[in-house]
A and B are shown apart, each in its own frame.
Chain A
């Protein structure tokens, strides 16, 4: 270590400690100031699995977890879109209806009208994008609050779904088709899932090293190598352990792989691109973002379109999961679950804070609760009440953490 302080550590007011103890202290300081990050959801997940596995040991059985992941993927993809709109402090209440419409379109176009599957999927996604664009225009040009525009969208799209399904109300998808296989059967080959499990740790080390080199070259401080390696190692061990456990059952569902891939892409977009930075800025202070030259309308457009498109994709996945397009698709708790997942995972309802991973972790919590309650043979009435309670708790945690952040000067 040279004696000359690095560019960013020259000020005496900045305390820093590179040892493990220092890292732990930083972490606890952050928690105390209300910067909770993913912690509540991880604690919640541990709590939920302990309780449910005590009540019914089947809960933690590998094959039950595989089913859980299959279920996560459908609503989880919708939740990714919700993260985008929540990031701007807006909401889309029509994602459930949108997913139902997309699933209905697959049934009507592909099974009834004989359109090829890729074309039907494309049509459903395009419809999603179009509806998102309509919300954005209503918001940008007419100043219609997204709460109201998407609430009316909820009804209108549900009506459209019922209309195109017609009097039969339900269309079965051919069971031997790849779409249904993807939604119910397809599992990543064991070698591939183990290999993919190595990727995050490897990327972490690789990116970490290159950033470290750049920062040293530029005269900035960099995180200690041991901390980086430890983090990557812990992540890899956890992932490989989880994959091993899942392969005691059927293995890692391909659909869940797609969900994680989408989350990775969204995460990159939000954290490493100008678009993502603009999303945070608009969510944090819309006027400030506008004055710094960001095209705020385009940011809203992108978020609403992304949200509705992902909702449509979620609808297609749920059609493949259920092997049918029905009037029930996208109704009930889909809407609430998708929104709850994002919030439980730590995306703030107040805008300006969030992450793609919050959708992944949040939906696992939601589905774990719903799955555990189903295993206990509880009726859906109780399930709704409990999920509602969990959402309320998540929002309370979000509000309290926000107040604490404000008083600790952490935005």
Chain B
């Protein structure tokens, strides 16, 4: 908990990965990944299937341990050995396969693992905080005392995001938050992401949907076959992004990088 005594200033670097690799037996899911996340910034992780996005998120969430490499959080090297450690430090994750317990109600799911007064659960206080949080997020959940099984996909996504915010994290990671959602619900989740960013949190979002990514992301980090394949901004053309993701026209990406490098080199310091 000490890690969260102070809120990072906007733009301060919260998380940085240096040379992170993860191997599953003979398969290298991640190789030498570099990633920085700053406060008040939305970083999108994009890449084709099997590019290693989900593995990277799982490493940051403490689900998998990296084989090599260093993770620095709030300026200090850290080891994320269990999901609980990551949560305690303030790295919250909303997983793709929504990690909710369908047999429990919304309140129980929101506070799961972090219930108020463990020896005599304070249901009233938890319910009030659940409502307050859902209101803040402008979430439309009809009742917090119904089992999660009765909620729609969008409502479940909202509950999952609300839960990640409950622990007052510094970074929130969303794995495909809009994949299963309709048009209006997607817009709501994107609004939610912006609200979270404006609170001064760092946001990592994984998505296949370039429109969504471009709509909210400040930086777009492309992974390809488990390696970094360039960092782009929302202004990057669709073609360039797709090229970086698929590797279909390796030349255009490298041409662009050369051009950028030339520009940076050509400008007098």
Interface residues of A (CB under 8 A from B): 7-8, 11, 13-14, 211, 214-215, 218-220, 272-275, 277-278, 280-281, 283-285, 287-295, 352-353, 405-406, 408-411
B101 adjacent to A288 (CB under 8 Å): yes
A150-B155 Cα distance, complex, nearest whole Å = 41
Q: Give the residue name and chain of the A residue nearest to B128 (CB).
A: A218
Q: Give the residue name and chain of the A residue nearest to B97 (CB).
A: A287
Q: How near does chain B come to A206, taking the closest CB pair, in angstroms?
A: 14
A411-B118 Cα distance, complex, nearest whole Å = 24
A220 adjacent to B99 (CB under 8 Å): no
Q: Given contacts A290-B83, A293-B87, A410-B149, is CB(A277)–CB(B121) below 8 Å?
A: yes
B104 adjacent to A284 (CB under 8 Å): yes
Interface residues of B (CB under 8 A from A): 61, 63, 82-84, 87-88, 93, 95, 97-104, 108, 112-115, 118-121, 123-125, 127-128, 131, 140-145, 147-151, 163
Could you jot down 24 A-B contacts, CB within 8 Å?
A8-B145, A11-B140, A14-B142, A219-B128, A220-B127, A220-B131, A272-B121, A273-B119, A274-B115, A274-B121, A275-B118, A277-B108, A277-B112, A281-B108, A281-B112, A285-B101, A288-B98, A288-B101, A291-B63, A291-B83, A291-B95, A292-B114, A294-B113, A352-B101
Q: How near does chain A come to B253, taking the closest CB pair, in angstroms?
A: 35
Q: Give 7 A-B pairs besides A281-B108, A410-B147 with Cβ atoms closer than 8 angstroms.
A: A11-B142, A273-B121, A274-B119, A288-B100, A293-B83, A293-B87, A411-B103
A282-B144 Cα distance, complex, nearest whole Å = 20
A283-B101 Cα distance, complex, nearest whole Å = 9
A295 adjacent to B84 (CB under 8 Å): yes
Q: Give the residue name and chain of the A residue nearest to B112 (CB).
A: A292
Q: Which residues on A sit within 8 Å (CB–CB) of B113? A: 278, 281, 289, 292-294
Q: Which residues on B sit within 8 Å (CB–CB) of A408? A: 150
Q: Give the residue name and chain of the A residue nearest to B132 (CB).
A: A7
Q: Which residues on A sit within 8 Å (CB–CB) of B125? A: 218
B63 adjacent to A7 (CB under 8 Å): no
A11 adjacent to B143 (CB under 8 Å): yes
A215-B143 Cα distance, complex, nearest whole Å = 15
B128 adjacent to A7 (CB under 8 Å): yes
Q: Which residues on A sit within 8 Å (CB–CB) of B102? A: 284-285, 411
B147 adjacent to A218 (CB under 8 Å): no
B142 adjacent to A13 (CB under 8 Å): yes
Q: How near does chain A come to B189, taking the closest CB pair, in angstroms?
A: 19
A411 adjacent to B148 (CB under 8 Å): yes
A274-B115 Cα distance, complex, nearest whole Å = 6
Q: Give the residue name and chain of the A residue nearest to B145 (CB).
A: A8
Q: Which residues on A sit within 8 Å (CB–CB) of B123? A: 211
A411 adjacent to B61 (CB under 8 Å): no
A291-B64 Cα distance, complex, nearest whole Å = 11
A285-B100 Cα distance, complex, nearest whole Å = 7
Which 3 residue pairs of A and B lie closest in terms of their CB atoms, listed nearest first?
A: A274-B118, A411-B149, A409-B150
* Interface residue from A14, A273, A284 paired with B101 (Cβ < 8 Å): A284
Q: Which residues on A sit within 8 Å (CB–CB) of B147? A: 409-411
Q: Give the residue name and chain of the B residue nearest to A33 (CB).
A: B150
Q: Give the residue name and chain of the B residue nearest to A353 (CB).
A: B103
A211-B124 Cα distance, complex, nearest whole Å = 8
B93 adjacent to A291 (CB under 8 Å): yes
A8-B127 Cα distance, complex, nearest whole Å = 9
Q: Give the residue name and chain of the B residue nearest to A282 (CB).
A: B101
Q: Which residues on B sit within 8 Å (CB–CB) of A294? A: 84, 112-113
Q: Which residues on B sit within 8 Å (CB–CB) of A8? A: 127, 131, 143-145
Q: Which residues on A sit within 8 Å (CB–CB) of B112? A: 277-278, 281, 288-289, 292, 294
B143 adjacent to A14 (CB under 8 Å): yes
Q: Which residues on B sit within 8 Å (CB–CB) of A218? A: 124-125, 127-128
Q: Give the residue name and chain of the A residue nearest to B61 (CB).
A: A291
Q: Which residues on B sit within 8 Å (CB–CB) of A14? A: 142-143
* Interface residue from B103, B143, B149 paired with A283 (Cβ < 8 Å): B103
A410-B121 Cα distance, complex, nearest whole Å = 23
Q: Give the residue name and chain of the B residue nearest to A291 (CB).
A: B99
Q: Give the residue name and chain of the A residue nearest to B163 (CB).
A: A292
Q: How near does chain B come to A270, taking the closest CB pair, in angstroms?
A: 11
Q: Which residues on A sit within 8 Å (CB–CB) of B143? A: 8, 11, 14
Q: Which residues on B sit within 8 Å (CB–CB) of A275? A: 118
Q: How near does chain A come to B58, taking the closest CB pair, in angstroms?
A: 10
A295-B145 Cα distance, complex, nearest whole Å = 25
Q: Give the residue name and chain of the A residue nearest to B144 (CB).
A: A8
Q: Which residues on B sit within 8 Å (CB–CB) of A405? A: 149
A277-B101 Cα distance, complex, nearest whole Å = 11
Q: How near does chain A come to B119, taking the closest CB pair, in angstroms?
A: 6
Q: Which residues on B sit within 8 Å (CB–CB) of A11? A: 140-143
A272 adjacent to B128 (CB under 8 Å): no
B103 adjacent to A280 (CB under 8 Å): yes
Q: Which residues on B sit within 8 Å (CB–CB) of A409? A: 147, 149-151
A352-B101 Cα distance, complex, nearest whole Å = 9
A215 adjacent to B124 (CB under 8 Å): yes
Q: Which residues on A sit within 8 Å (CB–CB) of B108? A: 277, 280-281
A294-B88 Cα distance, complex, nearest whole Å = 12
Q: How near does chain A come to B148, taking the closest CB pair, in angstroms?
A: 7
A21-B125 Cα distance, complex, nearest whole Å = 30
Q: Given contacts A13-B142, A14-B143, is CB(A292)–CB(B99) below 8 Å?
A: yes
A290-B82 Cα distance, complex, nearest whole Å = 9
Q: Which residues on B sit within 8 Å (CB–CB) of A353? A: 103
A278-B82 Cα distance, complex, nearest whole Å = 17
A331-B188 Cα distance, complex, nearest whole Å = 60
Q: Which residues on A sit within 8 Å (CB–CB) of B61? A: 291
A295-B140 Cα distance, complex, nearest whole Å = 31
A287-B102 Cα distance, complex, nearest whole Å = 12
A214 adjacent to B149 (CB under 8 Å): no
